[in-house]
Structure 1
Amino acid sequence: MTDAGIRTTDAFSFLADEVGGVENIGFTRRDAYIFIQRIKRAKIELDGIGKIDYDCFGDVVIFDTSYRLNKYNLVCAPFIGVNNHWQNILLGVVFLFEETIESFTWVFTTFV
């Protein structure tokens, strides 16, 4: 359900209504959040999705360092591609402390 854009709390409430109450689900709301976070973390940790997408749609790659995070003042630099449906896809992202030749060399070497 979360892949369809339904929030975890709404999905949990829907399931509870379908089975006649929270006590009949067999897991807690917290369990649902932990499960969803585990799936999201696994997608990020694999890093295979971005590599596969780059192999398929790597004709156009956008690298933009204009984003900054206020709390730590890090440079957020996403690698974005365009798939065959003209949709933007995230190929990877890096957070940099500084914008130097050495850091960009490392980023591009690591990305490729």
Structure 2
Amino acid sequence: MKDVGLWTIFKVVLNHSHLCCPDQVEMLKQHRELSMFVRRTIKTHEEAGIRPSKTYQSFVATADSHRELGFIEKDVMNYITRELNLEGDHYIKHAFWADVRSRAAFDYFGNVVSFDNTYNTNRYNLVLGSFVGMNHHGQSTLLGCALMKNEDIQSFKWLFECWLRCMRGKAPKGILTDQCASIQRAIELWMPTTIHRWCIWHIMKKIPSKLNGYKGHNEIEQDMSHVVWNSNTKEAFDRNWIDLF
């Protein structure tokens, strides 16, 4: 017996005390089950970024009715949360995306490409890498992007292979990247004919930390920035750089 205030409970019957509706008995929890085929399909859809609700509706459409499935949408969600997420780092590693518009833009503006991997997502700790070109209006145009779990040579080899395959195997004449040894090695392996240069923005960003210990470093930074950004030709840069020192 338990007194809960307004009511006093004498007895609790946890089993069903009434007959179940015959046409709904299969939807009770103890009767619902995900087959191996359904589990594989859910995992494939999850890796492709398809929402669980869309995955469930595809099963319904195939079976003509949700009553013919033997499971409900909540079972799909529970399987993703309980089973697939247990795979952790081995489950979500890399994802690459490029569309027809990106491929068409590369055909016109793919001579020199910038690859940037300095963005990092907070929730899943995935690195965002983007291939960017410049169109005839001087505007940036996206040529492909990826989410990566690791930034080692194998990861970049995988990414460049996917990107080149999407661009019909045509490598750019030049590529600009951060000062990353893994990226450099992957480019040497997959784009050996491409001229690789470090991005000037990343170089200039590191100058304050490199010169911070020197007297008059603010003036040096300003003079270096002037030489870098206002030298319109190679000859002008070489002349101004020599004059600087």
Same fold, judged at TM 0.5 (above)? yes
Instruction: Choose the corresponding residue for 1:60, options 88, 104, 112.
Output: 112
The TM-score with structure 1 as length reference comes to 0.58
Instruction: Choose the corresponding residue for 1:73, options 125, 131, 141.
Output: 125
State the distance in 1 between where 2:127 and 2:142 align: 17
Return the offset for 1:84.
Answer: 1.1
Q: Where in structure 2 are the equivalents of 1:1-112 lying within 5 Å?
A: 47-112=99-164
Return the offset for 1:60.
Answer: 1.7
State the distance in 2 between where 1:74 and 1:98 align: 8
* RMSD, matched Cα: 1.5
Runs of 4+ with deviation above 2 angstroms: none
What is the one-letter code of the residue matched to 2:104? I
The TM-score with structure 2 as length reference comes to 0.27
Return the offset for 1:66.
Answer: 0.5
Uncovered stretches (5+) of structure 2, i.e. residues with no partner = 1-96, 165-245
> 3-state SS of the aligned residue for 2:117?
coil
> 3-state SS of the aligned residue for 1:91?
strand
> 3-state SS of the aligned residue for 1:66?
strand
Residue of structure 2 in register with 1:17 after alignment: none
State the distance in 1 between where 2:159 and 2:129 align: 9
Residue of structure 2 in register with 1:12 after alignment: none
Alpha-carbon displacement from aligned partner over 1:39-76 (angstroms, at most 9, x marks no partner): xxxxxx88111011011100121101100000001000
What is the one-letter code of the residue matched to 2:134? V
> 3-state SS of the aligned residue for 2:159?
helix
> 3-state SS of the aligned residue for 1:65?
strand
- Aligned partners of 2:115 and 2:130 also within 8 Å: yes
State the distance in 2 between where 1:46 and 1:99 align: 20
State the distance in 2 between where 1:75 and 1:101 align: 14
State the distance in 1 between where 2:142 and 2:107 align: 13
Query: How many residue pairs get matched?
Result: 68
- Aligned partners of 2:98 and 2:144 also within 8 Å: no
> 3-state SS of the aligned residue for 2:128?
strand
Overall identity of the aligned pairs, in %: 41
- Which structure would you say has the larger RCO, counting Cα contacts within 8 Å and 6 or more residues apart? 1
- Aligned partners of 2:129 and 2:147 also within 8 Å: yes
